[in-house]
Amino acid sequence: MRIFGVILAGGQARRMGGADKALLRLAGLSLLDRAVARLEPQVERLAISANGAPARFAGLRLPVLADDAPMGPLSGILAALRWAAPLGATAVVSVPVDCPFLPGDLVPRLVLAAETGGPALAHSGAALHPTCALWPVNLAGPLAAFLASGVKARVRDFADLHGAALAPFADADAFANLNSPEDLARAEALLATA
C-alpha cells in the first residue's frame, strides 16, 4: 500500500475566537507543526487541507489543498483523495490539525483495520475519532456524489455507507482535540509536567 496523509486545517475555530487554529502555538510550536511531526514519518507524502491564503504555510513546503466547496472535513478529505490518486497513492490518512498528541502508530493500525478494503476510523474506549481515518482513493467519486447530494455532510455517515472498520487505540488522550483556549491551556500544562 502507498499511504499519503492530509492534515485537515480548514476549520473556522469559532471557539478559539476565529483564530487560525493551525498557527496557534502550543509549547513553542504551532499546532500544524505538531501535526506534521506526528503524521509525516508515517506516510509517503503529506499535504495540508486549508482554505484561504496558502502562503501562510509556505515554510512547511507542503502542498496546500483548497476545497472545491467547503462542507466541513469531508471536503478536505475529497481534495486529498483527488490530489493523491494521480500520484499513485492507495489511500489517504486524515488527521485534524488540533490533535497534537496523535499516536506514533496511527497509520499502521488504521491500515490493519482497513484490510477489508474500505475506510478505517480510529476509536478509543467509547469515543470515535472519525477525522482520524484511512480513506481508499477509490472513494473520491462516491464522496463527491455524497457531498453533491445535499445530505448533511457528516464524516461518520459517509464512512458507514462504505463499511468503515474501527481501529482501536487504548489512549483516548492521544486524540484530545484543542477546541477552546481552555483546551489549549490544559495541553500546555500537560506538556509542562511531562
Residue 111 CB: number of other CB atoms within 10 A?
18
Mean pLDDT of the 133-151 span: 96
Q: Which of the two residues, 12 and 65, has the higher pLDDT score?
A: 65
Q: What is the DSSP string of 99-138?
A: -TT--TTHHHHHHHHGGGSS-EEEEETTEEEEEEEEEEGG
Q: Share the mean pLDDT of the chain.
A: 91
The domain covering 3-193 belongs, at the CATH homologous superfamily level, to: Spore Coat Polysaccharide Biosynthesis Protein SpsA; Chain A (3.90.550.10)
Output the CA angle 55-153-3, nearest 5 degrees: 60
* Confidence (pLDDT) at 18: 60
pLDDT recorded at residue 166:
96
Please answer whether residues 18 and 43 qualify as being in contact, where contact means their C-beta atoms are separated by less than 8 angstroms. no
Instruction: With a cut of 80, say whether residue 13 has pLDDT above it.
Output: no
Where do the domains of the chain lie?
A: 3-193
Give the H/E segment covering residue 159. helix 155-161
What contacts 24+ positions apart, CB below 8 Å, involve 183-189? 184/16, 184/24, 184/26, 187/26, 187/100, 187/101, 188/26, 188/27
What's the pLDDT tens digit per position in 87-135?
Answer: 999 999 999 999 999 999 999 999 999 998 999 999 998 899 999 999 9
Can you give the pLDDT at residue 105?
97
Looking at residue 104, what is its pLDDT?
95
Q: How sure is the predictor about 186, in pLDDT bands with cuts at 50, 70 and 90?
A: confident
Strands (E), the chain: 3-8, 25-26, 29-30, 46-49, 64-65, 91-96, 120-124, 127-136, 165-168
Report whether pLDDT(194) > 80.
Answer: no
pLDDT at 185: 81
Instruction: State the pLDDT at residue 155.
Output: 96
pTM of structure = 0.93
Task: Report the DSSP beta bridge partners of residue 91.
Answer: 3, 136
Residue 69: pLDDT band by 50, 70, 90 thresholds? confident
Residue 62: pLDDT band with limits 50, 70, 90: very high
